[in-house]
Amino acid sequence: MKQKTRIEILSRFSQVNPRPIIELNFCSPFELLISTLLSSQSTDIMVNKVTKKLYLKANTPISVLKLGLNNIKKYIKPIGLYNIKALNIIKICHILIEKHNGKIPNNRMDLEKLPGIGPKIAGVILNTIFNEPVIAVDTHVFRFCNRTNFALGKNVKQVEDKLFKVVPVFFKKHCHLWIVLHGRYICKSRNPKCNECIIKDLCNYYKIINT
């Protein structure tokens, strides 16, 4: 894809949604970290239902540890992989208290040392909480980038590296959320809504299916 086409795509996203908002509900960096961890192999809607009750009882590392592993499991049971996620939450709380004064680290290295926190979650935290121009690559971003030819890559790392190179600084802050929301509601894995797409005239996939 030509760079001018990428810029046009991002410009259209910006015009439609100049200030995209993450769909996970949170009131603190810690809440976002836990919610993003829970969102793996789950939906934001389900995570928000679970955390609405959980955060009323515990929404800090200390209060989560006081609540305890078994109670955490009860709250997040509707979430996929809740057993391992509950254990990771407890481990994260210990690490945050012992090594970071209960605060969320502001760098990728320390974030990715937390149990269950990989490059995608670290990227979301750095972008959303610390306003860094990081473009996290989840399934929506990966699918969109390869389907449209926006940033081709055989794996998440390749797509992330490509995005870092081709996305202008001006668009980096919101790029992740623009693509996530577009992938979630329009450029779906199955039955993408191409006729409703605001960039269909720029999309390689749309051209292929209509030839």
Find the angle CA(209)-CA(14)-CA(130) to the nearest 5 degrees.
Answer: 120
**Which of 156, 147, 178, 138 has its CA nearest to residue 19?**
178
Task: Find the helix or strand (DSSP H, E) in which 54 lies.
Answer: helix 44-57
The residue from 49, 53, 57, 138 that is catalytic is 138
Residue 145 among known ligand-binding residues: no
From first to last of its 211 residues, the chain has per-residue pLDDT tens of 999 999 999 999 999 999 999 999 999 999 999 999 999 889 999 999 999 999 999 999 999 999 999 999 999 999 989 999 999 999 999 999 999 999 999 999 999 999 999 999 999 999 999 999 999 999 999 999 999 999 999 999 999 999 999 999 999 999 999 999 999 999 999 999 999 999 999 998 998 888 7
140 close to 125: Cβ distance less than 8 angstroms: no
In this structure, are residues 193 and 178 in contact, taking their beta carbons and an 8 Å threshold? no
110 annotated active-site: no
Is residue 194 part of an annotated ligand binding site?
A: yes
Domains identified in the chain and CATH numbers? 3-20+134-209 (1.10.1670.10), 29-128 (1.10.340.30)
Which position among 103, 113, 120, 165 bears the catalytic label? Answer: 120
